[in-house]
Amino acid sequence: MNTKKLIEDDLKHIWHPCTQMKDHEILPIIPIKRGQGAYLYDFDDNRYIDGVSSWWVNLFGHCNPYINQKIKEQLDTLEHVIFAGFTHEPIIKLSKRLCALAPKGLEKCFYADNGSSAIEVALKMSFQYHKNRGQKRPLFVSLENSYHGETIGALAVGDVKLYKEVFDDILLQTIQAPVPKDQSEESAIKAADGLEQIFKEKADQISAFIIEPLIQCSGGMNMYHPLYITLARKLCDHYDVHLIADEIAVGFGRTGKMFACEYADVSPDFMTLSKGLTGGYLPLSVVLTTQKIYDAFYCDYSEFKAFLHSHSYTGNPLACSAANATLDIFENESILEKNKEKIALIGSKLEQFKTLPNVQKVRQTGMIAAVELDVYPIDFRVNLKIFKYAFQKGVILRPLGNVVYFMPPYVITCKEIETMMDVAYEAIVSLNRL
């Protein structure tokens, strides 16, 4: 296949996400031919370490033989069926497993297609829960610097101006609470005090408080102490406000535990999952919630309290088979235990970045690490420079502004981790020469 022709045809017909398409006048788009393990290969057979897990979704490598096999087996049996009034074995199996893995009390699963859709489901479900009980609570609270997706409801509870500001006029009314500024207990306590002040003033108007537990990924990989989650849970209980845990990016072992909420020993009222749910293979998301919330919608049809939300591909059997295969790998290969060595290596490799004069700070939670650059005067395209440098060295990095982060698939080897992080180090050193 002619790479040049592929690029021409792509740019003629396709509008890519989170992209200023004019950039591709100077930065060629990159056709990828195949993937294997931690690597992606272009049409010239150059290979690149996927340091960002293809937007944080890939857990066990590209073209994982076991996941491939399970999807192929399902393909010969049932590809899809309407999920209103019908069900199938893969989703029943998956739901039982997710409820067993999730924090205590999360016993019901509602499926959607992607992370943003799962957030929409949780917001609507929380609001209607209160309405079914005779209360109108039109407000939602989220953290400053948060990101929960780019559909209208999800965007409204986020706080990254780059995505949100242009749409302010058409968004839901939300309140942003102070976010812990670092990983200290003191910062967690101070932020929780700010949240309580909001609850004191408006709790009877608030349906839910939504957080990304431990790590605000799209918000520059800001990380905070588990104590904040503990305090937030107590405040939500006291003021009768739902707690939504958005574990779309941090779930399935990214923080070192299966779910980030486990660090605080907290059970939210809603937990949203997607990304790694299918190992990076197919779109699928789920909202886990409690029996108490489920019961508020359970009634005779004539009461009109049912939750009327649907997606055409809800509970797709192929996606559920990929998800079950992903959970099989977690169970059969002791992934969380094996990742401890890689987490320690990432931590040790971070030390070299602390010596660089243009590095402001480094941070890590589990398999996610970040290096924040001190860029003065502000170079708002520093991310592009680092991407280009790393790509030429065979590593895919996609910095968030001035934050270089690492979120590789779990199949990455220790040697590949060293290569990935050494290339990032060289890229940062090179900035003064670019």
Q: Is the pLDDT of residue 434 over 60?
A: no
- Per residue in 120-130, pLDDT (tens digit) is 999 999 999 99
- DSSP codes, 297-340: T-S-GGG--S-----TTTT-HHHHHHHHHHHHHHHHHTHHHHHH
> Residue 136 annotated as binding?
no
- At 375 the pLDDT is 76
- Per residue in 159-216, pLDDT (tens digit) is 999 899 999 999 998 999 999 999 999 999 999 999 999 999 999 999 999 999 999 9
Q: Is the pLDDT of residue 44 over 90?
A: yes
> In which band, very low, low, confident or very high, does the pLDDT at 376 lie, cut at 50, 70 and 90?
low
Arithmetic mean of pLDDT, 298-306: 96
> Residue 55 annotated as binding?
yes
> Residue 115 annotated as binding?
yes
Arithmetic mean of pLDDT, 346-372: 97
Cα dist from 302 to 295, 305, 328, whole Å: 16, 8, 42
- At 8 the pLDDT is 95
- At 385 the pLDDT is 94
Structure-token match 């006048």, residue found: 25
> Residue 240 annotated as binding?
no
- Per residue in 214-249, pLDDT (tens digit) is 999 999 999 999 999 999 999 999 999 999 999 999
With b for 16 or more beta-carbon neighbours within 10 A and e for fewer, the 355-386 pattern comes to ebebbeebbbbbbbbbbbbebeeeeeebbebb
Q: Is the pLDDT of residue 392 over 90?
A: yes
- At 118 the pLDDT is 98
- At 377 the pLDDT is 60
Q: Is the pLDDT of residue 309 over 90?
A: yes
Average pLDDT of every residue of the chain: 96
This prediction's pTM:
0.97
> Residue 239 annotated as binding?
no
Q: Is the pLDDT of residue 314 over 70?
A: yes
> Residue 276 annotated as binding?
no
- At 378 the pLDDT is 62
Give the helix ranges, DSSP H, for 32-171.
53-56, 65-75, 89-101, 115-132, 152-157, 161-164
> In which band, very low, low, confident or very high, does the pLDDT at 379 lie, cut at 50, 70 and 90?
confident
How many Cβ atoms are within 10 Å of 313's Cβ, its own excluded?
Answer: 17
> Residue 310 annotated as binding?
yes
- At 146 the pLDDT is 98
Quick check: 144 and 175 in contact, CB under 8 A?
Answer: no
The pLDDT > 90 percentage for the chain reads 96
> Residue 116 annotated as binding?
yes
> Residue 207 annotated as binding?
no
- At 351 the pLDDT is 97
- Per residue in 58-113, pLDDT (tens digit) is 999 999 999 999 999 999 999 999 999 999 999 999 999 999 999 999 999 999 99
> Residue 80 annotated as binding?
no
- At 271 the pLDDT is 98
Nearest residue to 321 via CA among 53, 59, 38, 69: 69
Domains in the chain, CATH or no CATH each: 31-63+334-432 (3.90.1150.10), 67-332 (3.40.640.10)
- Per residue in 45-60, pLDDT (tens digit) is 999 999 999 999 999 9
